[in-house]
Each structure stands twice: as structure tokens, then as C-alpha cells.
Copies of this chain bind each other. A is one copy, B any other.
Amino acid sequence: MREFGKIVIYGVGLIGGSFARALKAAGAVDEVVGFGRRPENLTEAVRLGVIDRVGTDPARELPDADLVLVATPVGQMSALFAQIAPHLGERTLITDGGSTKRGVVAAARAAFSGAFADGLARFVPAHPIAGTENSGAAAARADLFQGRKVVLTPTAENHAEAVARVQRAWTTCGAEVCRLTPEQHDRVFAAVSHLPHLLAFALVRDLAERPDAPLFFDFAASGFRDFTRIAASHPEMWRDICLDNREALLAEIETYAQQLREFKTALRKNDGAALETRFAVARAARRAWSEENIRQKSQAASTNKPCT
């Protein structure tokens, strides 16, 4: 028997679609039903075999669903949770793919409390660290989560069995599952993900709005290409992430602006030693991170050991 009978996915994009593809490839699911805002994307998802059917009525699809993945931009989750809550079955597990977790957990608490037996017990928040600048069902890949981390931020209300089964769904997709509290999660990702995205968006916009922008873009090379890859990310998705995690993000911008001021002072004073020392700290840390990353990946590949 398969691990999951019916899975329902809200938002059949890069994350939702890849989750479906990965579980299908693993033979872990009987049927995948997809809901979404853009009918043409859902049609494409069926055509590509990402989902089996397009869902139209939550009241019909949810009561017998084994697992629901909400993989919409985080700004839509609050309304969506409220919409699906009355229709969830007594055994339906729910997880999400949101890049922020405090807001998502608060929205789940508001929507799911008392809405069905066990309340919040079966909503297990997740953040798969597998985003790319691509979006839509056509970007979905069965191997997207292979060797990637998925952060679970279980709540006090969670049943241990629900957490274990949701964890199994993500590891079946090939992911390494880690755990953080929602607060830890949002603080860490404000620094290592949300801030870099904002910085890349800001740089490209800064150039794009100059009257002689083509001259600048003409000479941009591989350093610029890699630095700004994430500036091609989904604007609505990142709007929601930034708003949802704005306190942590504002604090990160402040800290970062302080770094820039230090660099400015060093430049103004022609202080080469200060610049070089700062660059060297960054280079050493970046190289150590890169080597550790390679080491961990080869270790994970050989032992398949999750990070929890």
C-alpha cells in the first residue's frame, strides 16, 4: 500500500509541483489534486503529469485527503487556511512551503483552532530550502528537494505522529529534515535569504532606472550574474515574505547598513588595511562555508543521514 492515497496541493508552482512530482516518482501517492489561482497553470500541470486532476470544490476534495500541501505565497495562506479548515478530514495532515514561519503558524492557529478534531495537531509547518528564481508548474522537478534541507517548525499542539508522517513525506522527496522554532527560523532566514534577495532586487533596480542603463548592463559579467540571479525571483512571493518577516528583516537591513557605513568610512579615509581586513574575514568565512557545504553534501549522499 502506498504511503499516501490522495494529496491535495494548493499552489502548483515550483515547490508544490516538485513535491507532487517527487512523491509520484517515489511511488508514494495514489492521486494528486491541484488547486490554484491561474487555470492555465493548472491545465499545464495536468498536461505535464505534475498533478492528476484540477480541484474545483474543497468540500469534495478535502474530507478524504491524506495530506494537504499549501504552497502559495505566504500572504495568501491566512485566507486559504480559513477556507479549507471546515472541510478537512479527521485524519488529514497539512503542511506548507512558506519561507516564513511565525506568521504562517499564527494564521494556522487562527484558522484551525477548533475547526476539526485534534485542532492544530495535524498542521506541521515546513520550509523547503529549495527555491529558485523560476516559478510555475513548468518549473517543477522530481529531484528539486534531493539533498536539500527542509526546516520543520513543529508547534506545541502537534501530534508526534503527524510530525513523523509529514517528515516522512519530505524525506521521501529526498530532503534532509531539520527542526527549528518558528522564531529561530525567521531570524536566520531574514539574514541568509530575505536580506540577500532584497539587496539583489535593490541593485538591479538601481541600475535599471538609470537613463543610460544599457551601458551598465552591457558590461555586467559573471560576478553580477551570480550576485543578481535571485533578483529574477517572483515579486509577489517576495513581497509577502518581506512583509511577513518585516521586523527581522528591518533589523537585518539596519545591521547591514552599519557594515556599509564602515566600508564607506574606510574608503573615505583611504584606509586600505581596514578594507583588506574586512574582505579577508569575508573571504575566509565564505571559503569555509563552501568547503563545509561540500563536505556535508558528500556525507549526506553517502549516509543519507538527516540533520535532526
| 0/1 interface trace, chain A 257-300, chain B, CB 8 Å (1 if under) | 10110011001101010011111111111110110110000000
A217-B256 contact, Cβ under 8 Å, with A224-B192, A227-B200: no
* Interface residue A195 (Cβ < 8 Å from any Cβ of B): yes
The interface residues of chain B lying within 8 Å CB-to-CB of A242 are: 267, 275
* Interface residue A243 (Cβ < 8 Å from any Cβ of B): yes
Our pick among B131, B230, B272 for the contact of A243 (Cβ within 8 Å) is B272
* Interface residue A4 (Cβ < 8 Å from any Cβ of B): no
Q: Tell me the bound Cα distance from A195 to B238 in angstroms.
A: 23
Q: Is there an interface contact between B249 and A267, defined as CB atoms closer than 8 Å?
A: yes
Our pick among B208, B236, B257, B270 for the contact of A257 (Cβ within 8 Å) is B257
* Interface residue A14 (Cβ < 8 Å from any Cβ of B): no
Q: Tell me the bound Cα distance from A278 to B196 in angstroms.
A: 15
The interface residues of chain B lying within 8 Å CB-to-CB of A1 are: none
What's the number of copies of this chain in the assembled complex?
2
* Interface residue A201 (Cβ < 8 Å from any Cβ of B): yes
* Interface residue A207 (Cβ < 8 Å from any Cβ of B): yes
Our pick among B129, B188, B203, B284 for the contact of A256 (Cβ within 8 Å) is B203
* Interface residue A232 (Cβ < 8 Å from any Cβ of B): yes
| 0/1 interface trace, chain A 170-207, chain B, CB 8 Å (1 if under) | 00000000100000100011011101111111111111
Our pick among B246, B263, B290 for the contact of A270 (Cβ within 8 Å) is B246
User: Could you say which of A129, A184, A275 has the most chain B C-beta atoms within 10 Å of its C-beta?
Assistant: A275
Q: Is there an interface contact between A260 and B267, defined as CB atoms closer than 8 Å?
A: no
Our pick among B189, B217, B257, B287 for the contact of A219 (Cβ within 8 Å) is B189
Q: Is there an interface contact between B129 and A259, defined as CB atoms closer than 8 Å?
A: no
Cβ contacts A to B, 27 pairs, < 8 Å:
A131-B221, A149-B221, A189-B219, A191-B216, A192-B207, A192-B216, A196-B227, A200-B282, A201-B278, A201-B283, A205-B282, A206-B255, A206-B259, A213-B285, A225-B290, A226-B226, A229-B286, A232-B286, A232-B290, A235-B283, A238-B279, A239-B276, A239-B279, A246-B267, A246-B268, A250-B264, A256-B260
